[in-house]
Amino acid sequence: MIRIDGVTKRYPDGTVAVDRLSLDIPDGAITVFVGPSGCGKTTTLRMINRMVEPSEGRILIDGEDSRRQPVNTLRRSMGYVIQNAGLFQHRTIVDNIATVPRLLGWSKEKARSRARELMERVGLDGSLAKRYPYQLSGGQQQRVGVARALAADPPVLLMDEPFSAVDPVVRKGLQDELLRIQAELGKTIVFVTHDIDEAVKLGTMVAVMRTGGRLAQYAPPAELLSDPADAFVEDFLGADRGIRRLSFFPSAELELLTGPVAAAGTGRTAARDTGDAPYLLVTDADGRPLGWAEPGLPTDGPVDPGRLLPCGRPFVAGQDSLRAALDCAVLSPTGWAVAVDGSGRVAGVVSQQAIGEAIRAAHAGGRSDGADTGASAKVAG
Ligand SMILES: Nc1ncnc2c1ncn2[C@@H]1O[C@H](COP(=O)(O)OP(=O)(O)OP(=O)(O)O)[C@@H](O)[C@H]1O
Ligand SMILES: [Mg+2]
């Protein structure tokens, strides 16, 4: 565990970048520092590996004052990733990744073979190994940066806005990749961002900082969303925190109806024989959703998909959150959401009203699991 204990950083010109910061960074989890520009995030990160020395207070690594370790040993135990990856432009991708193992005295072959293994781990095609950084996209370069930081297998990764310079789609891919790598390798990751959505998505714990280097709140993301400590945190979280909080409520307890579901060609008609639901969800022969049939539309012959109402993006029952279920319901003109199993086959349907009741029940029961157990309970969608 990394303990930041009463740390202040005053730069020589008198700027107080970090002000009496105390918090514990848990092992094997992602801790995110988030806050507006200039609030001291980078300074905090750099104090952890002693690129910046605290003016007051101390940082303990597994109980030991970080100043008692030789600085090189300390830095070797902490991979560092920055925005735009900071790659060596004159080295190939494979040699960029092999940098630290080579410094540690590994043979060229061993270091390169480790580098190729890591390329695969971060989702880079092996054919890119011999290219130079300028021959890669920004997102690919960022993956190389992560691979390079992982090369000597350090227990800790420090990441300073690593994904800020790439477009939203690539960014989402990189975030998903980081979560996967974290789950596989169990690294302790300290991640800096100014994007609260990124913080909520990635963080097991999130430290919200305010200008002047003060800690505003330190909590699991679900708790930030449900109980912001003050107006600053609430404002920083943004307008739709209620909706975003639904990401932490699982959809597992929604009662799915299979009555209003029929494969095309079975001759059923909506409203007459679908019970409570006025619409009939029509699937293909494989059980995949095609769309909703309006009342009276006969489905005995082959159904023209053009005559069906769209069913939104289905949610994966039990795996996705209530937010995904609600999104599906509001995107369909019928107000009903379609649940599928892991292979995309329809598991059942659920009305907007039933989702609303589940949301109320979840709120009443305080069943935002993430609030008490951190990201281990984070729901996928
Ligand atoms: N070497 C320095 N000398 C003097 N002041 C500094 C120095 N480095 C940073 N600062 C100041 O310390 C404060 C915190 O800076 P820091 O870089 O930690 O912020 P940040 O939260 O990472 O911001 P950003 O989101 O813009 O990267 C800022 O006011 C900054 O101007
Ligand atoms: Mg910074």
Query: What separation in Å is there between the alpha carbon of 16 and the centre of ligand 1?
Result: 9
**Ligand with minimal distance to 10 CA:** 1
pTM for the predicted model, two decimal places: 0.84
- What domains sit in the chain, N to C, each tagged with a CATH number? 2-241 (3.40.50.300), 261-363 (3.10.580.10)
Tokens 């300028």 identify what position? 134
3-state secondary structure of 121: helix
Exposed, middle or buried, 239 (CB in 10 Å: 0-12/13-18/19+)?
exposed
Ligand 1 atom 2: residue of nearest CA: 11
Residue among 25, 19, 16, 24 nearest 7 (CA) = 19
| CA–CA gap between residue 107 and residue 110 (Å, rounded) | 5
Q: Which ligand 1 atom is the nearest neighbour of the CA of 209?
A: 21
Query: What separation in Å is there between the alpha carbon of 3 and the centre of ligand 1?
Result: 21
State the pLDDT at residue 203: 97
State the pLDDT at residue 275: 66
State the pLDDT at residue 374: 38
CA atoms within 13 A on the CB side of 282: 27
Answer for the pair 299, 269: CB distance below 8 angstroms, yes or no: yes
What residue ranges line ligand 1, CB within 6 angstroms? 11, 13, 15, 17, 37-43, 194
For 85, the token pair is 């990856």
- In order of 53, 80, 135, 161, 192, the CA distances from 158 in angstroms are 16, 5, 26, 10, 8
Q: Which ligand 1 atom is the nearest neighbour of the CA of 9?
A: 12
Query: What separation in Å is there between the alpha carbon of 311 and the centre of ligand 2?
Result: 43
Query: What separation in Å is there between the alpha carbon of 38 and the centre of ligand 1?
Result: 5
| CA–CA gap between residue 350 and residue 289 (Å, rounded) | 14
Residue among 193, 164, 152, 184 nearest 85 (CA) = 164
3-state secondary structure of 168: helix
Collect all residues with Cβ–Cβ distance below 8 Å to 136 and sequence separation of at least 6.
Answer: 93, 128, 144
Exposed, middle or buried, 366 (CB in 10 Å: 0-12/13-18/19+)?
exposed
Ligand 1 atom 14: residue of nearest CA: 40
Residue among 181, 109, 196 nearest 145 (CA) = 181
| CA–CA gap between residue 375 and residue 288 (Å, rounded) | 31
State the pLDDT at residue 268: 72
Ligand 1 atom 6: residue of nearest CA: 11
State the pLDDT at residue 165: 81
Substitution site in 13, 15, 47 for ligand 1 pocket (most atoms within 8 Å of beta carbon): 15
Q: Which ligand 1 atom is the nearest neighbour of the CA of 18?
A: 14
Tokens 């996928």 identify what position? 380
State the pLDDT at residue 377: 47
pLDDT in tens, the chain (381 residues): 999 999 999 999 999 999 999 999 999 999 999 999 999 999 999 999 999 999 999 999 999 999 999 999 999 899 998 887 789 999 999 999 999 899 889 999 999 999 999 999 888 999 999 999 999 988 899 899 999 999 988 999 999 999 888 888 888 988 998 999 999 999 999 999 999 999 999 999 999 999 999 999 999 999 999 999 999 999 999 888 888 899 999 999 999 998 888 888 777 766 666 667 788 899 988 999 999 988 877 667 677 778 889 988 999 999 999 999 999 999 989 999 999 999 999 999 999 999 999 999 888 876 544 433 333 345 655
Q: Which helix (H) or strand (E) holds 156?
A: strand 156-160
**Ligand with minimal distance to 43 CA:** 1
Tokens 């059923």 identify what position? 268
3-state secondary structure of 11: coil
